[in-house]
Amino acid sequence: MRILLKLNKRWFLYVILAIIIVSIAFPSLNSFSQLNRETSINPKTSGTIEYLNELWLENPTFEDPIEPTWFSNIIGDTSDVDTSTGTNQANMAILGEDFIFEVVADPPDGNWTAVNNPRFPRFPDSNFTDSAGLNVFHFWDEAESAGQTHNTPSVHWQRGFTMPVNMSDYIITSASVQATFNATVTVSPYSTGGIDCPGDPGDTPLQFSTGDYARFYVLISDPDNTYEYEIAYNQTINLGQDSPAVPSYPDTLMVPVPQEVLIAYLTAIFKENNFNFTITLGIDIYCEDNESGVDRDRWDSLIIRSLNFTFAYRKKIDQFTSVSWNQVGESISGPNKLIMGGNLQFEYKIDQNWTSSSPNSELRVLINNNLHTETIKLSTVTDSFQKAKIGGYDVTPLILKDVNISLSIQVYLADEFGLENLITVSITNATLLISYIETFTDVIPEPWIFTGLFIISVIGAGVLAAYLIAYQTYLKYPVPVRKVRKYRKSLSNDKTPGVGIVSQKTSFSRDYHQELKKTEKLLKGAPKNGKILRDKLLDKKEDLLPK
């Protein structure tokens, strides 16, 4: 019953201490939770700084040196565009140019080389070059040993040409060919070489289909003759006619192909070879067997007198080519910064009217490689500096955080077209203004202060509880009482004490024998006396024991 009462008192004490701890810690915990809720709903800050219309680009007026703060970039054909700098301006040039290629052979000279015609490989009797031009003489006798193989002779004079530019970058805009020839033949009689042509009576039986004729022509081809085209020709019809007699042709023009056809031929050749092509001047002779066994044809003089071959070519600007001036600025980084706005302003001009061949080309703005929706058609640009937009472009949606903010002002060529002269677009006074807010929060947020107070309260309550328990169980007693209580506690312990408890008689006997052993060591030399003394001590022992 006594033990049960002590246990009840102890548990009652523990309950009281628990109530004290909770009463101390709960207000701090409650305040911490409440503040946490308020902070999560309405975070508190210590202040903000506004940065308004910050100048984000360096050297907006393009002072020398422009580079490397500003740098240029070309996308597409680098031969179509170029960049340069001027006083307080950056330039973007579209490299248009016009050229004329002309071959004038009046007359053709020794630069033309005679070669076989692969279709009719037999040369005429004679071919040569003199001050009159490229000459041919031929006499066909059906009775000769060469027979029919001698009645279709031909000769080609060729000359190769190399263009000063890569023609894949150019467009042929016009082309013409003008070539002249003259001819002299024997008209009659047939037996001495008369040329037979439609209308000649001839002898009976007459063998006649097309008659005798000479063909003069101009060919163009690539050096390997993969593509070969006839661009001018003249085939005689009545040369050698008997009545009225037509013994000769004076200087006569060959018939050219239409200009659009000639341009198409040249374009096809330059697709095969971008730099080189060949011109061929040719004369073919056809001697028909009009009088069986006795036909003779005499071509006294066939001459190519002149050639004038000309074409104009213009720089081809490739579609989607672009040229730009660019700058990379600083970034806006950090979760405590908020971008409020961005404004871009610049001025531009063009040195001459833009070509009508490219109505879709324009001036563009890109921020971080993202295209702004507003562009400027080059066809509307004037030759004096003007603002791109009154009030500037709103580029806020294109400005990104945590990346370097870059600007590109770009000339974009949206069409493939030919440009005959250089056109320059210039820009100046390019400013990018950015506004943002920077927010500052407490270094140690208020909820953490209350967390610290809560922890301190709990520790303090624990220390107080430990002290109260120690006081009730130990400290309130005097020191002697504490020792007695400690000893009494040890006696109630089930574990055997470290010090054994014996009777008084047993303890005295043990001490007596220990003293006796010491005495025997002193009396080893006189055992007899020692025995007598021991007996006396034993007798005395009985007297010393408590009664």
**Site of tokens 């680098």:** 78
Contacts of 515 (CB under 8 A, 6+ apart): none
- In 3D space, the residue among 164, 168, 234, 239 whose CA is nearest the CA of residue 200 turns out to be 239
- CA distances, 399 to each of 21, 128, 226, 283, 368 (Å): 56, 77, 56, 73, 7
Quote the pLDDT of residue 472: 66
User: What's the rounded Cα separation, in Å, for the pair 443 and 44?
Assistant: 12
Burial (Cβ within 10 Å: 0-12, 13-18, ≥19) of residue 59: middle
- The pLDDT tens digits of the residues spanning 93-102 come to 999 999 999 9
pTM exceeding the 0.95 threshold for the entire prediction: no
- Asked if residue 287 lies in contact with residue 174, where contact means CB atoms within 8 angstroms, the answer is no
- Asked if residue 317 lies in contact with residue 416, where contact means CB atoms within 8 angstroms, the answer is yes
3-state class of 514 per DSSP? helix
Q: Count Cβ neighbours within 10 Å for each residue of 78-105 and write b for 16 or more, e otherwise.
A: ebbbbbebeeebbbbbbbbeeeebeeeb
- Asked if residue 100 lies in contact with residue 314, where contact means CB atoms within 8 angstroms, the answer is no
3-state class of 520 per DSSP? helix
Q: What residue type is assigned to position 489 of the chain?
A: K
3-state class of 178 per DSSP? strand
Helix/strand/coil percentages in the chain, nearest 5:
25, 40, 35
- The pLDDT tens digits of the residues spanning 16-69 come to 655 655 555 555 545 545 545 544 445 555 688 998 999 999 999 999 999 999
Quote the pLDDT of residue 449: 60
- Asked if residue 83 lies in contact with residue 325, where contact means CB atoms within 8 angstroms, the answer is yes
Which residues of the chain carry a pLDDT beneath 70? 1-46, 146-148, 201-207, 292-293, 442-454, 464-465, 467-468, 470-477, 479, 481-505, 507-508, 512, 515-516, 518-547
The single-letter DSSP state of residue 76 is S
